[in-house]
């Protein structure tokens, strides 16, 4: 057999193997999507629908009728009550006795650091980070330099450094132009003043995630910016859903938002502020809303709210991006966002 014929046979063999491999992948995808497991369908559709730019992914495999049915069977019942700051009595000192290992882990300081502690977690196959902040009165809203000037916002690390923060996370949503933007969704309050949304401060009603001047997390449902200020909110932005209010968790049916990188802020009854960040890759892994509630409840959160996740998920510690956001955001050092929360000593 000539060398030319041998090479031709080899190419045919490789091509055949490649097509067999592709056929197996396609068959596996169809079996997963149309097989007997609702979980995979729900996860795929709900995760796709919660992204800003890739909702069309849900329609690749399923009709709109099927998508509507999945959405109808996966939902949460919003908590319609405000958090009570009276229930939170700030005393973050270490205790003599702890009720369980999680409380001990939360309160026990690392040597020489009385400001915060980072607890490494695992949620499914994803890495997570729970930051316990022992000086709740030092937690402030951080934001991009200016709103609505045609820019892309700022990365959390950049904002955190400008505010001279130690630990920061991203916060609320924004009008998305693909890269981010400097236009917040909902009102923003900083140092007791409305810095975004003043023209609708008495009319626009939202889920307001705020902090009082003495460091208590204040969650207000269907409130205006001026109502929030009247109730003692000193720093705030808009997002949701609220995950825990006055010790009561969000009621979830199915898996309404799928798995994704997620971020949340919470507070224990003793006043410790919690920053929770879960890594992941969109459509593959990360955390569900229920996962976030489970972690926060385990560590004693009395009030907690979901923040912007996905590509925006960012945790900055001492001037460095500490977590590992999805690939696109990770390559550029974190996505450009509009607000966040920071420990500002």
| Whether 228 contacts 198, CB under 8 Å | no
Confidence bin at 329 (pLDDT 50/70/90) = confident
* Residue bearing the bigger pLDDT, 25 or 242: 242
Highest mean pLDDT among 19-33, 45-59, 259-273: 259-273
Q: Which of 37-51, 215-229, 290-304 has the lowest mean pLDDT?
A: 37-51
Q: 211-221, pLDDT tens digit by residue?
A: 999 999 999 99
Is the model's pLDDT at 27 over the cut of 50?
no
Q: Which residues neighbour 10 within 8 Å (Cβ) at sequence distance 6 or greater?
A: none
Written as one string, the DSSP assignment of 74-96 is SEEE---S---GGG-----S--S
Q: Which residues neighbour 106 within 8 Å (Cβ) at sequence distance 6 or greater?
A: 117, 119, 132, 268, 272, 299, 300
Whole-prediction pTM: 0.84
Element of type H or E holding 303: strand 301-307
Average of per-residue pLDDT across 166-173: 98
Query: C-alpha dihedral over 273, 276, 277, 282, to 10 degrees?
Result: -140
| Whether 172 contacts 308, CB under 8 Å | yes
Distance CA(43)–CA(259), nearest Å, equals 7
Average of per-residue pLDDT across 258-278: 97
Is the model's pLDDT at 202 over the cut of 60?
yes
Confidence bin at 31 (pLDDT 50/70/90) = very low
Residue with tokens 């000593």: 345
Q: List the beta bridge partners of residue 336.
A: 155
Per domain, the residue ranges of the chain are 3-76, 77-343
Is the model's pLDDT at 275 over the cut of 90?
yes
Q: Which of 53-62, 178-187, 199-208 has the lowest mean pLDDT?
A: 53-62
């Amino acid at each position: 057999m000539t060398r030319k014929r041998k090479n031709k046979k080899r190419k045919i063999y490789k091509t055949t193997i490649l097509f067999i491999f592709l056929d197996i992948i396609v068959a596996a995808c169809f079996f997963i999507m149309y097989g007997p497991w609702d979980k995979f369908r729900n996860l795929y559709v709900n995760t796709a629908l919660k992204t800003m730019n890739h909702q069309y992914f849900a329609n690749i495999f399923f009709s709109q009728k099927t998508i509507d049915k999945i959405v109808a069977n996966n939902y949460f019942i919003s908590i319609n009550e405000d958090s009570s700051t009276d229930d939170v009595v700030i005393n973050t000192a270490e205790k003599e006795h702890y009720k369980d290992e999680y409380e001990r882990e939360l309160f026990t300081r690392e040597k020489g650091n009385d400001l915060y502690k980072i607890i490494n977690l695992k949620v499914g196959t994803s890495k997570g980070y729970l930051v316990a902040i022992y000086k709740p009165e030092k937690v402030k809203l951080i934001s991009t330099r200016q709103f609505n000037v045609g820019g892309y916002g700022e990365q959390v690390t950049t904002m955190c450094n400008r505010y001279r923060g130690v630990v920061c996370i991203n916060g609320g949503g924004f009008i998305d132009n693909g890269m981010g933007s400097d236009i917040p969704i909902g009102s923003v309050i900083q140092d007791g003043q409305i810095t975004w949304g003043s023209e609708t401060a008495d009319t626009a009603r939202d889920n307001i995630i705020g902090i009082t001047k003495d460091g208590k997390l204040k969650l207000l449902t269907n409130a205006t910016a001026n109502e929030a200020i009247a109730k003692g909110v000193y720093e705030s932005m808009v997002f949701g859903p609220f995950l825990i209010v006055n010790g009561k968790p969000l009621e979830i049916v199915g898996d309404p938002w799928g798995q994704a990188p997620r971020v949340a802020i919470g507070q224990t009854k003793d006043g410790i502020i919690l920053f929770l960040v879960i890594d992941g890759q969109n459509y593959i892994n990360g955390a569900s809303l229920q996962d976030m509630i489970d972690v926060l409840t385990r560590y004693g959160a009395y009030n907690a709210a979901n923040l912007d996740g996905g590509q925006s998920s960012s945790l900055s510690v001492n001037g460095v991006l500490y977590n590992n956001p999805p690939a696109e955001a990770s390559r550029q050092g974190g996505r450009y966002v509009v607000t966040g929360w920071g420990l500002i000593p």
